[in-house]
Amino acid sequence: MGEQQVSLDGTTYPLQSPFICIATQNPLDFHGAYQLPEAQMDRFMASLRLGYVSEEEELELLQIGGMENDLQQLKAVVTSEDLSLLQKVVPTVRIDQSILRYMMNVIRTTRNTASIRLGISTRGSLHWVAMAKAYAMLHGRDFVIPEDVCDIALPVLSHRLILNSKASSESAAKNSVLDEVIKNTALPR
């Protein structure tokens, strides 16, 4: 992978490695914010929906006022050197041909399902494989199991789907359609 950089007002700035981009979107009150085009959404590896904190966590926030745990008190959980090492290790995680074939079957099905106007792209399938390897590694394995690809399918794939005009484009509808494709695709043994 080449050197990461960003341009602003015609000036290019190099970015330190590793570089990670995290974006947030408020699902309500979109004044001045518009849905990203499909080509840009496809560049995000995963889309996570966090929802509300637990009752206990919210109670704790209320007790401390919520602002006492500000950003200055956050502690790093991994160094940039550790993250760089992890990025080098993830590609060495093995994934069996049968699991890759399963993933390809899911991808191909999204491209040929009546309720889906635009299925998963090749970039999406590459991100799914990379995320499956990282997920396996985080679970202490140097190989991917079928459950890994199923566990991460929705966060990696659902935001890439474009449903046809008869289907809702809401994330719940995308998750439902994708979940149905996954359930109807035979897992490898």
> Domain with 110 in it: what CATH number?
1.10.8.80
CB atoms within 10 A of CB 172: 10
Would residue 101 count as lying in a domain?
yes
Q: What is the pLDDT of residue 28?
A: 62
Tens-binned pLDDT, residue by residue, of the chain (189 aa): 567 888 889 999 998 888 887 877 766 655 666 677 777 777 888 887 777 889 998 888 788 776 655 667 778 888 989 988 998 999 999 999 999 999 999 999 999 988 888 899 999 999 999 999 999 999 999 999 999 999 999 999 988 888 887 655 566 688 888 888 888 888 887
Would residue 122 count as lying in a domain?
yes
Would residue 143 count as lying in a domain?
yes
Domain tally, the chain: 1
Q: What is the pLDDT of residue 147?
A: 94
The CA distance from 135 to 148, in Å, is: 7
Distance of CA 27 to CAs 24, 30, 39, 171, Å?
9, 7, 20, 11
Would residue 188 count as lying in a domain?
no
The angle, 0 to 180 degrees and rounded to 10, between the axes of the packed helices 146-157 and 171-183 is: 150
Would residue 109 count as lying in a domain?
yes
Q: What is the value of pTM for the model shown?
A: 0.78
The CA distance from 176 to 182, in Å, is: 10
Would residue 189 count as lying in a domain?
no
Domain that holds residue 40: 5-183
Q: What is the pLDDT of residue 157?
A: 92
Beta bridge partner(s), residue 143: 94
Would residue 25 count as lying in a domain?
yes
The CA distance from 138 to 148, in Å, is: 11
